[in-house]
Structure 1
Amino acid sequence: MTVGGVPGRPPRQSVREYVAATLRAALIAGELVPGQVYSAPTLATQLGVSATPVREAMLDLVRDGMVDVAPNTGFRVTEVTAAELDHIAEIRLLLEVPIMGEIAAAVSAERDVQLELLRPLVDSMIDTAQRQDLTNYLNTDTTFHTQFLALHGNDELVTTVRRLRDRSRLDGLRSVAEAGDLVESTREHYAMIDAALSHDRTAMEQLMREHIGHVRTDWAAPPASAPHSNQRKTVQ
């Protein structure tokens, strides 16, 4: 497995936070393959860090059920069934659609300022989508959605949604990016900001249904003719 395009860590972000976020995003994107065993030293070399924060991050992922310990070898990525992914998407629809609708319906000058601060995140997502840098794309995507949901003021909701996102698998995302379609899907994030600024609850709820729907449709799995996922071993 080789690393392609790993950027420098953001200012003030600890090595452990950087490693944990990168590995979680790589798991979600399918860059770390279910059933494959990865060693901490190998991952550390590719990420340009020591093995210690990688082991710590992987043990966190073990506790979250995203990887298992493979004795004397490393960590094995766990499988997530189609039924489990359907359940995750269903819960996200039940939580995020009405909450995002409430955020859109709210009237607050301070909230509007916070919404405008989300636009640079979308700009960054457009850039990483164009470069097909899926790991950093998903990191920024998670930041966008959790910061947006945080405007509702319920920290438990944000934590729950973040955990649900971590358990998702988007094995088809690379195919979407390679086809040039990921940028267009990413523009939906601009539309979410605009819907909230316009206080358009109906538009926001429809946007969220469609957006979460990507998780179980075009982002869910590679085409049947695509190479087997075990051939994709790049952490970006």
Structure 2
Amino acid sequence: MESSAQGSTGTETPAAPGSDGLSRVPAQSRSDAVEYGGYGAYGDDTGRERCGPADAARGEHPHSETSAPAVGLARAAAAAVAASAPSRPVVQRASVRGQILDALRTALVTGELLPGEVYSAPVLGERFGVSATPVREAMQQLAQEGAVEVVPNRGFRVAVRGARELAELAEVRALIEVPVMLRLARTVPGERWVELRPLAEASVRAAASGCRATYAEADRIFHRALLALSGNEQLVAIADDLHRRSQWPSADGPARRGRADLVADAAEHMSLLEALAAGELDVVQTLAREHFAGSSG
């Protein structure tokens, strides 16, 4: 059984605030739980990152607003009563697990969950307003993706990665994606590239917000749409997995990539799109390789 503290009897005892590093995950009661839409970041008024989809549109950080990702089970139940359908479950297990998975991914990208630290599923579940089960299931998925590792009888340790692993991910991404981009630059008509411009512009706005989680999502959306022009769904899935892995925190912490880095990274989307539309193969190759290397820094 996972726990934040375990005595000689083997029974789970609550951890004191901050005793296992979990004070970085803001507490959230069930009555205050809010529906989580899939990306964004959260924090508190001590200067830690706090942003989300709405903030990206405004380009600001509402530090006075509540935006902690959680699953609104109490509100969902109330909605069920209002809809006169109490006999059917409102939130399915897969839905809860998916929302928790999104919240944990956000916490990883923004640095709420730090490399090398162990987090207990029951404690995280308490903060999200859910049982430990969906948290544990989400963490198992993250373990398969290499973001965390299982620590028996304790929980999950956030993987510690160094510069070498990030460089290797950048190299693999380049090996897979650059040849595809060069082929697309030769074969895709100009109007198709124009269709991707709104996504590139959206990534620029997300970068300007300074929210790493919001930009990470916009970044992946742009790259997925670009590679989707190849018509190869397996390629898109593999590349997206590698892309996500490159966004997990490094041993140096996510603070290395500030707002200026995100803005510069997003600007490369626009330049890459222009080179692709113009069929400038040498420029495409150079920009793509530099983009992958920079994104892993």
Q: Which interval holds the TM-score relative to the shorter structure?
A: 0.7 to 0.9
Query: Aligned equivalents of 2:222 and 2:106: distance in 1?
Result: 14
Is 1:157 the counterpart of 2:238? The answer is: no
Please name the residue that 2:160 is paired with: 79
Give the secondary structure class of the aligned counterpart of 1:76.
strand
Residues 29 and 134, structure 1, Cα contact 8 Å, conserved in 2: yes
Q: For 2:205 and 2:130, how far apart are their aligned partners in 1? A: 25
Report what 2:290 is aligned to.
210
The counterpart of 1:96, out of the listed 140, 155, 177, is 177
Task: Give yes or no for the alignment of 1:5 onto 2:51.
Answer: yes
1:97 to partner: Cα distance = 1.5
Shift of 1:6: 3.6
Kindly provide the CA deviation profile for residues 62-90 of structure 1, in whole angstroms up to 9, marking residues without a partner as x. Answer: 12232122344432111224333222222
Alignment of 1:185 with 2:185, yes or no, is no
| Structure 2 length-normalised TM | 0.60
Confirm or deny that 1:67 pairs with 2:145: no
**Cα separation, 2, equivalents of 1:76 and 1:90:** 26
- Does the CA-based 8 Å contact 2:161-2:249 persist in structure 1? no
Q: Which structure ranks higher in relative contact order (CA pairs < 8 Å, sequence separation ≥ 6)?
A: 1
- Code of the residue aligned with 1:99 in structure 2: it is V
Distance 1:181 1:58 in 2: 29
Equivalences for 1:79-158 in 2 at 5 Å?
Answer: 79-108=160-189, 112-113=191-192, 115-158=193-236
Matched to 2:289, the amino acid is R
Per-residue CA deviation, residues 104-138 of structure 1 (Å, 9 max, x unaligned), is 111336xx33x334333333322232222101211
- TM-score w.r.t. the length of structure 1 is 0.73
153 and 120 in structure 1: CA distance in 2 versus 1, 3 angstrom threshold: same
Aligned length: 210
Residue type of the partner of 2:278? S
Decide whether the 8 Å contact of 2:109 with 2:212 is kept in 1: no
CA distance in 2 between partners of 1:130 and 1:100 (Å): 26
The whole-number CA distance in structure 1 between the counterparts of 2:195 and 2:103 is 23
**TM-superposed deviation, 1:58:** 1.4
Q: Which one of the candidate residues 275, 286, 295 is aligned to 1:195? A: 275
How big is the shift at 1:48?
Answer: 7.3
Determine the C-alpha separation between the residues in 1 that align with 2:126 and 2:186.
48
2 CA distance for matches of 1:21 and 1:146? 18
Tell me by how many angstroms 1:5 deviates.
2.0
The structure number with the bigger radius of gyration is 2
Unaligned residue ranges in structure 1 (runs of 5+): 221-236
SS at match of 2:160: coil
2:147 and 2:159 in contact (8 A); partners too: yes
- How far the C-alpha of 1:153 sits from its partner, in A, is 1.9
Deviation digits for residues 130-164 of structure 1 (CA, Å, limit 9, x no counterpart): 22210121112112112211211222222222222
Amino acid at match of 1:68: E
**Structure 2 contact 275–284 (Cα < 8 Å) conserved:** yes
The alpha carbon displacement at 1:188 in A equals: 1.0
Aligned-pair identity (%): 40
Q: Which runs of 5+ in 2 are unaligned?
A: 1-23, 27-41, 43-49, 55-68, 70-94
More helix by share: 1
CA distance in 2, matches of 1:54, 1:124: 31
